[in-house]
Structure 1
Amino acid sequence: MKITTQIAGLLLFALFLPFANADEAAIKQALGKSMPTAKIESIKPSEVKGVYEVVLGSSIYYASEDGRYLLQGRLIDVANRIDLTEQRLGATRKAALDKIGTDNMIVFKPKIGKYKVYVFTDIDCGYCRKLHSEIDQYLAEGITIQYLFFPRAGKGSDSYDKAVSVWCAKDRNAALTAAKKDQKLERKTCDNPVDKHMQLANEFDVKGTPMIVTEHGNIYPGYLPAKELVQALQGEKTSQ
């Protein structure tokens, strides 16, 4: 991994809280008072003495042992050239996706499954449409495609309404394929997971679509042809 000067640009800000106990409970109490809306998933010691890893939603931060300082950035094992933060982020992403559940995704399954990926998609995104136009190629490689919606124009946009209509269709897979071909959809509304998908995309800091997330929580931003995706997934399995 290439270590750049960006690593030195960690965001550091004081919380000015009166807790001095070096334990997880004190840090949780301190952060809870300063950031009451924050969703604290876990707090545990990091690889650095006196620094604690704090998982907020699907993001990772680091806190001083007294809970007074919070740092945002990458923790790097310089000797081994390993991004320890990215390793942990993979696990938090996978846990968040498991919590959403495949029942709340649109899934295209091959006859013989070898790999699974999650794809954040925007119905009107050009490269999202290109990826879906090649869905048979992904399935032929044994890749299960599990779609989540991320209409980049936001809630209430035409793309958002299309995503809801697809979800509410009788045959969601067929409706998604039709929408990707820019065919007219019957506008429908119903209980749907689109807002949850968008919230998760924001937690994952999705900047564009498509964004592919592997079974191990690793991210491949943008379109990847089926053959290249298989190579990436094979490499991922080898490195586990």
Structure 2
Amino acid sequence: MLAALLAVAVAPLRADDKAIADALEKVFPGTKPESITPSEIPGLYEVVVGPTVFYMSGDGRYLIQGKMIDVEGHADVSEPKQAAARVAALAKIGESNMIVFAAKQPKYVVSIFTDIDCGYCRKLHSEIEQYLAEGITVRYLFFPRAGRDSDSYRKAVSVWCAKDRNAALTRAKRDEKVESKECDNPVDEHMSLGIAMGANGTPMIVTEGGEIIPGYVNAKQLAKMLAYEKSNRKPDAKDKRS
């Protein structure tokens, strides 16, 4: 999974950082850490690669994937950092590389990994006006579950290459004909990011705070969930929208 993550520029490294980066390169060629910082456990480093957070020993020999729990504080130490990494990864993609249905009076923004041929994705999009009415701006990224050699993938590319992407997406979601086209497109980048975020189904909703909501949620319920998240979100966890 890590080999599919986006490569990012790396700042000058300290001694431990270099050992970790070199070890990472050997195991996952082409993967570069976005940040390497000491974790809450002495001698263990927190490593961020795209939307993924994991831990490595200072010499780069040991790598741990999973949650770090503060037993005394009854807190998940990893998830807030994982959420922030997801937000940053989405910001790197940028709204210009998404299909955006913007609310007239926006209160929230969600990024949704969608498959044109997925039943619940179609149900969600058939109710898009309800989401917009709740003040939820929807940013779509493509995640054709059948992979690159599939009709769903080719439909995603055709939608992106259409003159009016929003209208083309709506037609495709209704199972209406969309003219087959090819052009430079971000579909592969969307898919790689979805895989890195652990997508195993669609729709997969990612909130402004980087939380993942799997599956279909109706507009009113989603608005309540987003309002709760917003009221409990720390200032430094806000979405860095582009």
Identify the TM-score tier after normalising by the shorter chain.
0.7 to 0.9
Q: Counterpart amino acid of 1:82?
A: A
1:63 aligned residue (56, 62, 73): 56
Matched, 1:97 2:86: no
Q: Distance in 2 between matches of 1:172 and 1:26?
A: 45
Assess if the C-alpha contact under 8 Å between 2:83 and 2:211 holds in 1: yes
Q: Which has the higher contact order (CA 8 A, sep 6+)?
A: 2
1:214 aligned residue (207, 225, 228): 207
Q: Deviations over 1:55-113 (max 9, x none)?
A: 12321111112222111111011223222211111111111100110001000011111
In structure 2, what is the equivalent of residue 169 of structure 1?
Answer: 162
Matched, 1:129 2:127: no
Structure 2 gaps of 5+ residues are 1-13, 234-242
Structure-2-length-normalised TM-score: 0.87
Q: Distance in 2 between matches of 1:134 and 1:34?
A: 44
Deviation at 1:220, TM superposition (A): 0.3
Q: Counterpart amino acid of 2:74?
A: R
Aligned residue pairs total 220
2:70 aligned residue (59, 77, 90): 77
Q: Distance in 2 between matches of 1:34 and 1:154?
A: 25
Matches within 5 A, 1:101-120: 101-120=94-113
Deviation at 1:22, TM superposition (A): 7.3
Matches within 5 A, 1:22-37: 23-37=16-30
Identity rate, percent: 63
Q: Distance in 1 between matches of 2:115 and 2:26?
A: 37
Q: Distance in 2 between matches of 1:87 and 1:220?
A: 15
Matched, 1:153 2:146: yes
Q: Distance in 2 between matches of 1:130 and 1:35?
A: 38
In structure 2, what is the equivalent of residue 13 of structure 1?
Answer: none
Aligned Cα root-mean-square deviation (Å): 1.4
Secondary structure, counterpart of 2:87 in structure 1: helix
Q: Counterpart amino acid of 2:61?
A: R
Deviation at 1:34, TM superposition (A): 4.3
Identify the range of structure 1 (151-160 vs 23-32) with the bigger mean alpha-carbon deviation.
23-32
